[in-house]
């Protein structure tokens, strides 16, 4: 009984409840003919697709900049990397590596400007970040039309200029990580080893960063900026570094997502990416000023698990074809729930 | 009969925090109009006992308590401070709970404003009632007057000196007519001696009106001056309850720490004026709110302990904060012949200076982080200690093992009471937090150490330990120490020379053997005409 209580204290009720819901969805799934193995595979793939974007939340939270609602900025850097890589005609590993290289350089630049902006609005970071995300999406909606792209796989067929809303990466680097070292177990289950390994690498890098001198300073800045300043740390520089890191992770995260999804979603695509990532890390037990890798892993598994299972089980149960509607209700419901759980650990 | 019944009765109170038992079977009674002194070392459980009485959420959140509380013979169990307020219990905290942007009046009558109906309230309900400001001002002025101090009800709290904030907080508690029991947790810790005197007088006046007062302080003389009875706590237990007239300061101090206290044990080291000058400060000005430094010049010699004293608000705290780059400052600061760039904490630290801030919670500690981080962080960031270079120095990896090792050493050396190196700093008591701050500064191994109010809010036992640690550090490592303190006796017991700051300027520098009268005259600015003499002395 004592150990049970300890476990509940450590895990927290929200995670236990969502975990139990997810478990029960898996348990009742076969009853309505939903295959567990393919559902499990979907969950794992979605975890891999989204994981790095959730990891992007950690640096800014740790540095006291709050949750990165401006994630679309990083995603746009990723989209620019992806489209430029295709424009240059790079395919396969070179294409994906090229996309990452370009995306990271652009993300550093974007992140620096974004960080400088956030340093001017201390205390209101999250609201300003939301506007940064929204306005950058709108601005890029214009830019996708006017930037001089020429690759026929990406531009509108009828006018010959401007990028399409969705661009297929088939023939470039579609599923390049999903299929890397993939382990096939049975007809309906394939483990996307490459994607998961890539996530693990990114998570390890994040963990390692927070074990360095700079990472330690960043955590201290988030914990007590006055203490950090009295120890000779430049608070603004640490905060900018955290924003750059977060933006870079957002850029890499969307590339991981696209290779698995098979398409690049331009225009309003990035609009809807920040909230699920924010919700996942909150459901994982992070607060506005403390987050760690465990929060990310647990939160992403729970959030993406529910998002995979709930629509398919509910559709099968009520014999409807409203998968998209149910998915939206579930995902936005989870986001609302997560945002009500926002806590600020007391100082 | 109500005459026989105590106003407040606490019986068999027991409380555990994080598996640590902090109170064991504590019982006390309090009658109308009585002043009860509650004394004990840091961590003896005084604050916890009062938090229980006041229904603070931290008690409920950590699993409640065992035992019973009676008020007027009725059993009560407060779930939150509102219940306690309603029952007539008022509390003045160690940390101020005032709104800085509000005036004294607004703070005093917060949530108890005098309201009038107007046309809009008829339509939109009581939330839009009009404030009766003249009436409120009158009530605030009355309760300030009752305390015997002069504070304008229209002053913003942010612009008040610390002492006035304390009086404002007290005025807020006493303006309520239902007030029965007033708890004062270290009310004089932030006050100067003259302000404390005024406070004690007003407390006696309050007690005469029938209010019962529980008075917590480390200044034992105050307890003896004002209290009818004294309850002494040690390690969570009542060791003695005694009427004030039957005891004396030595006995109380002894019971409190459980060992005989000898303040003379801090030996004054002989200080050699022939030593080279380490620090030269010239025409320093510092823009620190409430502690403005206007024009300060002094020199500190190698290996000495240089004291800086003065009344609150005169600028003594601004000096270390300005030199360490925490507040905007100007003038010249020369350390070992090299000028220090002001407004840059990193430069000050890199030059070999360290600072123990008077603002423990705000600047001194990472409250949420474990002790090892708190102690090692500054040394790590400034001097690259506790780091392992990886990939040829490209990556500086934090050496957690070295950090824990050094933390354990300091926990032992400074007798920090904690559950281990992983405990967050916020769970420690005030005195132990102060020791962590000292350990943080020691870990930098500075040439010159600034210590600001090292014993604020610390009891006799811990105070002696802190001072001894400073003295030992000074003599063993030859570290020059500049100590800023409001407590003159403390400065006189440890320092080689003491500068008194008045109105942002050095009023004079005296040897510790100078009489209390000489110090007093400097503090109240009576020796202005001797400026020339003082300048030549410095």
pLDDT, tens digit, for every residue of A174-229? Answer: 888 888 888 888 888 889 999 999 999 999 999 999 999 999 999 999 999 999 99
Q: Where are the alpha helices (DSSP H) in B388-429?
A: 400-413
User: Best of B19, B353, B363 to disrupt the A interface by mutation (most A CBs within 10 Å)?
Assistant: B363
CA-to-CA distance for A211 and A221, rounded, in angstroms?
Answer: 15
Task: Give me the interface pTM, i.e. the ipTM.
Answer: 0.82
Q: What is the pLDDT of residue B483?
A: 93
CA-to-CA distance for A281 and B192, rounded, in angstroms?
Answer: 49
Q: Does residue B410 have a pLDDT over 70?
A: yes
Q: What is the pLDDT of residue B513?
A: 81
The C-alpha of A225 sits at a distance from chain B's nearest C-alpha, in angstroms, of 8
Instruction: Name the band, by pLDDT with cuts 50, 70 and 90, for residue B235.
Output: confident
CA end-to-end span of chain A: 32
Instruction: Name the band, by pLDDT with cuts 50, 70 and 90, for residue A264.
Output: very high
Do residue B368 and residue A229 have CB atoms under 8 angstroms apart? no
Q: What is the pLDDT of residue A227?
A: 93
The architecture CATH gives domain B262-352+446-538: 3-Layer(aba) Sandwich (3.40)
In chain B, which residues have their Cβ closer than 8 Å to the Cβ of A207?
A: none
Do residue B366 and residue A345 have CB atoms under 8 angstroms apart? no
Q: What is the pLDDT of residue B78?
A: 85
CA-to-CA distance for B344 and B341, rounded, in angstroms?
Answer: 6
Helices B371-383 and B400-413, packing angle to 10 deg: 120
CATH 3.40.50.300: which residues of chain B? 1-88+180-260, 262-352+446-538
Pick from A106-110, B73-77, B121-125: least confident: B121-125
Instruction: Name the band, by pLDDT with cuts 50, 70 and 90, for residue A100.
Output: very high
Percent of chain A with pLDDT strictly greater than 90: 57
Q: What is the pLDDT of residue B353?
A: 92
Q: What is the mean pLDDT of chain A?
A: 90
Q: What is the pLDDT of residue B267?
A: 45
Domain B1-88+180-260 annotated CATH 3.40.605.10: no
Q: What is the pLDDT of residue B20?
A: 66
Q: Which of A212, A223, A234 sits opposite B369 (nearest CB)?
A: A223
Number of other CB atoms surrounding residue B181 within 10 Å: 23
Reduced to 3 states, what is the DSSP secondary structure of residue B387? strand
Tell which residue, B116, B111, B79, B88, has the closest CA to residue B98. B111
The C-alpha of A54 sits at a distance from chain B's nearest C-alpha, in angstroms, of 24
Q: Which of B345, B373, B384 sits opposite A230 (nearest CB)?
A: B345
Q: Does residue B268 have a pLDDT over 60?
A: no
Q: Which of B348, B355, B396 sits opposite A213 (nearest CB)?
A: B396
The C-alpha of A220 sits at a distance from chain B's nearest C-alpha, in angstroms, of 7
Q: What is the DSSP letter of B156?
A: B
Task: Provide the whole-model pTM.
Answer: 0.73
Q: Which of B350, B363, B380 sits opposite A213 (nearest CB)?
A: B380
What are the tens digits of pLDDT across the range B180-193? Answer: 888 888 777 677 77
Q: What is the pLDDT of residue A343?
A: 67
- Token reading at B240: 């003695």
Q: Which of A215, A227, A232 sits opposite B366 (nearest CB)?
A: A227
Domain coordinates in residue numbering, chain A? 48-270
Q: Average the pLDDT over B375-383 and give the result.
A: 91
Sign of CA dihedral A326, A332, A335, A336: negative
Q: What is the pLDDT of residue B452?
A: 92
- Token reading at B140: 């605030």
Number of other CB atoms surrounding residue B472 within 10 Å: 12
CA-to-CA distance for B35 and B45, rounded, in angstroms?
Answer: 19
Do residue B397 and residue A211 have CB atoms under 8 angstroms apart? yes
Q: Does A5 contact chain B (CB < 8 Å)?
A: no
CA-to-CA distance for B448 and A107, rounded, in angstroms?
Answer: 44
Do residue B364 and residue A233 have CB atoms under 8 angstroms apart? no
Q: Does A161 contact chain B (CB < 8 Å)?
A: no
Q: Where are the alpha helices (DSSP H) in B209-317?
A: 220-226, 249-257
Distances, alpha carbon B163 to alpha carbons B160, B168, B206, in Å: 8, 9, 19
CA-to-CA distance for B62 and B275, rounded, in angstroms?
Answer: 54
Q: What is the pLDDT of residue B291?
A: 86
CA-to-CA distance for A73 and A113, rounded, in angstroms?
Answer: 11
- Token reading at B79: 């779930």
Sequence-distant (≥ 6) Cβ neighbours of residue A335 within 8 angstroms: A275, A276, A278, A279
Pick from A150-154, A239-243, B195-199: least confident: B195-199
Exposed/middle/buried for residue B251 (C-beta within 10 Å: 0-12, 13-18, 19+):
middle
CA-to-CA distance for A165 and A31, rounded, in angstroms?
Answer: 39
- Token reading at B180: 């029965």
Q: Does residue B259 have a pLDDT over 60?
A: no
Distances, alpha carbon B10 to alpha carbons A297, B43, B229, in Å: 49, 19, 15
CA end-to-end span of chain B: 68
Q: Does residue B12 have a pLDDT over 50?
A: yes
CA-to-CA distance for A267 and A153, rounded, in angstroms?
Answer: 16
In this complex, how many residue pairs, one in chain A and one in chain B, have their CB atoms less than 8 Å apart?
75
Nearest CA in chain A to B355: A230
Q: What is the pLDDT of residue B260?
A: 42
Q: Does residue B15 have a pLDDT over 80?
A: yes
Q: What is the DSSP letter of B500?
A: E
Q: What is the mean pLDDT of chain B?
A: 83
Q: Average the pLDDT over B290-310 and give the result.
A: 90
Sheet containing B293-301: give its strands across.
Answer: B338-339, B329-335, B277-286, B293-301, B505-510, B497-502, B305-309, B480-484, B448-452, B353-356
Tell which residue, B156, B198, B202, B196, has the closest CA to residue B182. B202
Q: Does A319 contact chain B (CB < 8 Å)?
A: no
Q: Average the pLDDT over B343-366 and give the result.
A: 89
Q: Does residue A131 have a pLDDT over 80?
A: yes
Do residue A224 and residue B366 have CB atoms under 8 angstroms apart? yes
User: Best of B395, B427, B439, B451 to disrupt the A interface by mutation (most A CBs within 10 Å)?
Assistant: B395
């Amino acid at each position: 009984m004592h150990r049970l209580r300890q476990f509940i204290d450590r895990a927290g009720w929200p995670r236990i409840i969502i975990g139990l819901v997810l478990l029960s969805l898996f348990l009742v799934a076969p009853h309505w003919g939903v295959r567990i193995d393919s559902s499990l595979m979907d969950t794992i793939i979605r975890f891999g697709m989204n994981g790095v974007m959730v990891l992007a939340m950690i640096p800014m939270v740790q540095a006291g900049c709050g949750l990165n609602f401006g994630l679309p900025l990083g995603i746009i850097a990723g989209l620019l990397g992806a489209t430029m890589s295709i424009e240059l005609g790079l395919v396969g590993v070179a294409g994906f590596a090229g996309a990452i290289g370009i995306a990271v350089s652009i993300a550093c630049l974007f992140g620096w400007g974004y960080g400088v902006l956030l340093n001017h609005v201390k205390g209101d970071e999250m609201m300003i970040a939301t506007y940064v995300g929204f306005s950058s999406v709108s601005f890029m909606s214009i830019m996708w039309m006017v930037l001089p792209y020429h690759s026929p796989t990406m531009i509108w067929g009828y006018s010959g200029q401007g990028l399409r809303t969705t661009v297929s990466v088939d023939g470039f680097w579609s599923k390049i990580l999903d299929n890397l070292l993939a382990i096939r177990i049975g007809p309906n289950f394939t483990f996307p080893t490459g994607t998961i390994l890539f996530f693990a690498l990114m998570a390890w890098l994040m963990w390692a960063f927070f074990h360095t001198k700079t990472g330690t300073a960043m955590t201290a800045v988030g914990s007590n900026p006055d203490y950090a300043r009295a120890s000779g740390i430049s608070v603004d520089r640490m905060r900018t570094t955290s924003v750059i890191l977060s933006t870079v992770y957002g850029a890499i995260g969307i590339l991981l997502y696209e290779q698995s999804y098979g398409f690049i979603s331009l225009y309003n695509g990035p609009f809807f990416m920040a909230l699920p990532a924010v919700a996942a890390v909150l459901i994982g037990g992070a607060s506005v000023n403390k987050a760690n890798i465990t929060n990310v892993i647990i939160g992403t598994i729970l959030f993406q698990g529910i998002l995979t299972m709930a629509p398919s089980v509910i559709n099968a149960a009520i014999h409807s074809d409203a998968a998209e509607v149910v998915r939206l209700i579930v995902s936005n419901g989870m986001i609302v729930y997560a945002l009500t759980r926002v806590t600020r650990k007391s100082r | 009969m109500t005459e026989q019944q105590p106003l407040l009765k606490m019986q068999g109170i027991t409380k555990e925090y994080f598996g640590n038992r902090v109170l064991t079977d504590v019982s006390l009674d309090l009658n109308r109009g009585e002043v009860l002194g509650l004394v004990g070392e840091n961590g003896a459980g005084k604050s916890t006992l009062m938090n229980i009485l006041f229904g603070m959420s931290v008690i409920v959140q950590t699993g409640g308590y065992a035992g019973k509380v009676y008020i007027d013979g009725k059993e009560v169990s407060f779930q939150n401070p509102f219940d306690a307020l309603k029952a007539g219990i008022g509390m003045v905290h160690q940390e101020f709970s005032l709104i800085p942007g509000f005036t004294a009046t607004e703070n005093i009558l917060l949530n108890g404003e005098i309201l009038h109906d107007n046309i809009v309230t008829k339509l939109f309900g009581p939330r839009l009632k009009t404030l009766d400001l003249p009436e409120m001002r009158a009530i605030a002025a009355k309760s300030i007057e009752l305390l015997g101090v002069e504070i304008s009800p229209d002053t913003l709290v942010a612009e008040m000196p610390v002492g006035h904030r304390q009086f404002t907080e007290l005025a807020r508690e006493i303006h309520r007519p239902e007030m029965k029991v007033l708890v004062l947790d270290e009310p004089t810790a932030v006050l100067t001696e003259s302000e404390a005197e005024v406070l004690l007088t007003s407390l006696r006046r309050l007690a005469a009106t029938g209010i019962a007062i529980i008075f917590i302080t480390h200044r034992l003389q105050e307890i003896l001056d004002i209290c009818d009875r004294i309850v002494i706590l040690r390690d969570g237990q009542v060791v003695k309850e005694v009427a004030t007239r039957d005891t004396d300061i030595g006995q109380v101090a002894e019971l409190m720490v459980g060992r005989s206290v000898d303040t003379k044990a801090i030996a004054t080291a002989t200080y050699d004026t022939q030593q080279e000058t380490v620090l030269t400060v010239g025409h320093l000005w510092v823009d620190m709110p409430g502690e403005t430094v206007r024009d300060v010049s002094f020199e500190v010699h190698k290996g000495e302990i240089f004291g800086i004293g003065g009344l609150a608000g005169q600028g003594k705290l601004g000096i270390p904060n300005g030199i360490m780059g925490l507040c905007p400052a100007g003038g010249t600061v020369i350390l070992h012949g090299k000028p220090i760039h002001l407004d840059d904490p990193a430069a000050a630290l890199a030059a070999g200076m360290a600072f123990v801030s008077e603002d423990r919670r705000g600047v001194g500690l990472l409250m949420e982080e474990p002790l090892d981080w708190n102690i090692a962080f500054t040394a790590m960031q400034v001097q690259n200690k506790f780091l392992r270079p990886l990939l040829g120095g490209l990556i500086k990896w934090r050496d957690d093992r070295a950090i824990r090792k050094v933390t354990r050493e300091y926990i032992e050396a400074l007798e920090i009471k904690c559950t281990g190196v992983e405990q967050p700093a916020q769970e420690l008591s005030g005195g132990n937090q102060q020791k962590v701050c000292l350990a943080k500064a020691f870990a930098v191994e500075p040439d010159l150490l600034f210590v600001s109010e090292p014993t604020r809010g610390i009891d006799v036992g811990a105070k002696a330990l802190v001072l001894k640690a400073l003295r030992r550090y000074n003599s063993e490592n030859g570290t020059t120490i500049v100590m800023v303190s409001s407590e003159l006796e403390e400065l006189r017991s440890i320092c080689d020379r003491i500068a008194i700051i008045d109105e942002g300027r050095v009023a004079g520098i005296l040897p510790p053997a100078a009489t209390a009268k000489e110090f007093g005259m400097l503090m109240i600015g009576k020796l202005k005409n001797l400026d020339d003499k003082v300048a030549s002395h410095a």
